[in-house]
Structure 1
Amino acid sequence: MKKLLTAICVMLFICLVPAAATPAATAAAVFVGAIDYDGLTLQVYYNNNAIVYYSTDKKTWTELEGMYDIATSSCTMDISWLSAKSDQTLYFKGDVVTTIKAVTLPAQNTSFRVTFNAVEEEFTFDNAEEADSFEWRKASDYAWREVDMDETSASYAAFMGTVEKFRVKGASIIIRLPQVKGTGNSNVGRRPSKEYSVKIAARAAAPNIKVNSLKLTVNTTSAMEYYNPVTKLWVECDSTMSLEEIAPKALYAKGGSNVTLKIRKAATASVTYSKTATVTIPGQSAPPSLGGSSADCTYYYLNSKLILQFNSASTANAYQYVIVKAGSSFNEASASWKTVTSSKILTISSSTAPAGATVYIRKKGTDAANGAEVVLSSAVNSFKVAY
């Protein structure tokens, strides 16, 4: 009986020991986990303490409140109230293990700068040495997109492609260095930098390109450049270039095929290149026929006069001719062409068309107007006057 009473007393003593004594044996110092500067939260692990306290000066302590996670015995703390202008230190301790743990959150990088060289089409990032990527968004939205600083990367190429699209109308974009999430007291990461606004100016309007159907020229200037599809390079224009120079394949003698020209104002030291003007030059038609049975032009001589008739000529189907005396040179662009708009017989004196002179004929072209496309003057045919 005496032994039984002793055993009961021992069991009662064990049960009456305070429950708080058990965690005291396993509790350890609290510690900081993930730090998210975008979400402005910090995770604190209780480490078997029942309560966690925090302070900014180690004098005034406040019980930690926040979103408690039972599975990890941690609390997600809001840190939005801490200034980003300077380093901020928080101190933590438990109610059981009162060892103080400090974590210093870094100040935001406010010296970050971005410049966009519109001529060279390059971005320059200043005070960004610690970053290997940046983030950007449109000024009108809040969706951040991350881009590798490496200009050879796929993300950078995609970014520059988007910037090029912005240059149609112009846009403003916001750029910053992204956050680096912290993982604890010894690795606090980095806040996202100050946001920097960059204006992407719209390109200047494309030049107003016109094809002269009579002179067979394009109204280019030395301030323009055209795209060569063979070399895939932009080539500096000359002033008022001939089709022989800029679109030779459009000429009948070179194939007479349609040619699409891309022309823009070239970049200068202070202004980037303009939007591109695209012009389609139709292939030049064959020269009009000559001879007694020709539907285009017949000629003969009568009383030392040249008799000339354009059999299909009309206002909508005009022809042209020019007489070049022997010893003079023929220049199609500068020649003084006479226009014929009817099939009426033309009588030309020998003084105007002396023997040995050359008569050049062609179908008259029409410039683009009122929605109608340009039609080039035809290739030239000719004959020598011989009475």
Structure 2
Amino acid sequence: MQPAPPQPVQLSELAGSLRRRWRVLALGAAVGLLLGVLAWAVLPVTYTATTSVRVSSVDVPSSSGSSATAALDVATAAQLVTSGDVLAAAADDLGTTRGELKDGVGVENPPDTAVLNITYTASSADAAATGSRAVAEAFLGVRGKTAADEVQAQQEATWDRVSMLERSAQRYPAGSPAKASILRQAESLGDRAAELATADTTPGQILGATATPSGPSSLGVLPLGVAGLALGLLVAVPVALTRRTAPSAGIGDVGGLGSINEAAVLDGTRDPRPQDTWDIAALMLKLPSEAPADSGYTLVVDGSVGTQPGTALAEALRRRGRAVRHVDAAVINEGKLARGWPTQRKQSTWGGEVVVIDSSELTSDALKVTLATRCDQVVLARSVDDDALAARRLRGLLRAQGVDVALTVLLPQRGERL
């Protein structure tokens, strides 16, 4: 007979395991909460202020003489916010260094807009608002100066060209066609220089006043505490579940079996002979003085695979002078067990006998419980190296069907019984 395959873990087992190890969960939650509070105490409190700037395109006449509006590239303008020129100008205004200022500056361009939200993070609300405003003003100042410098450069180049043409015209006699043509060119360039003087180089404008932050932007004690508590539980849950497979998860002793809430536990781990244990078990069982003549009296005995506790109990009952029949449930067709074995007709053949049905080799806990509901008493035999959770699971299934365990027999480790 092959060993029974392990039963799948159920959610009720996991919940029960966590409930029994609530101290592990409580410790993990407490440690996580403490770490969250310590993080709040150690991390600096910061404030973040935002200044919104609308970026405008700069209208500068081209070198060919026609007036053209430069294409607005907000993404490139956003890069200018954190450039060295802007940070240097803002740092001079704030009385700080460019490196210290750069650590707190941020910029965001909302989609489909020509607006830049310039943020600055500092240790106080006033410093955050002042810093954000200073960076925004420095950005507009640098961008406006760049446009103004371009216009001035074009003006100077145009006037240099006008001077050159006028000097060239002096080489020709008055009234000559060549001189008249050169002077017309110089006059046209003068008009272009005048247009440059009226170019709009406004880089944009600040939208409203910069609001002073009403509260810190860094995480407070409540969110950090909750985050630490959640992290502690996240670590504690697998630790609690992992401990269920540790060697200490075995039944171990009578105390381990007592945690299964059995009505009676017989500790046979110190008996010199297994026969003595089963003789005591036969004595502890409350059997009728005479088995019913029409159906007999049925016992279900379940133990570790390969232990054959049914045979041992049957022999002990025979030594007490009882008429005993031993039945191995593993040789019964599982379909018959599921459909209602032992039937009343079958039980009528057991009249006057104590029938010990050994369910140890059954592969299904469900069949074991079903069989127990049709019998008069249930006896469990467990070794100290058995899995306590598996024993507790079977006990819970029996209880759910209203079946009480009459006796649990605690046996030595399997190696000691060989």
Report the structure, 1 or 2, having the larger strand content: 1
| TM-score relative to the length of structure 2 | 0.22
Report the structure, 1 or 2, having the larger helix content: 2
Determine which structure has greater relative contact order: mean sequence separation of CA pairs < 8 Å that are 6+ residues apart, divided by chain length: 2
Q: Which of the two has higher C-alpha Rg?
A: 2
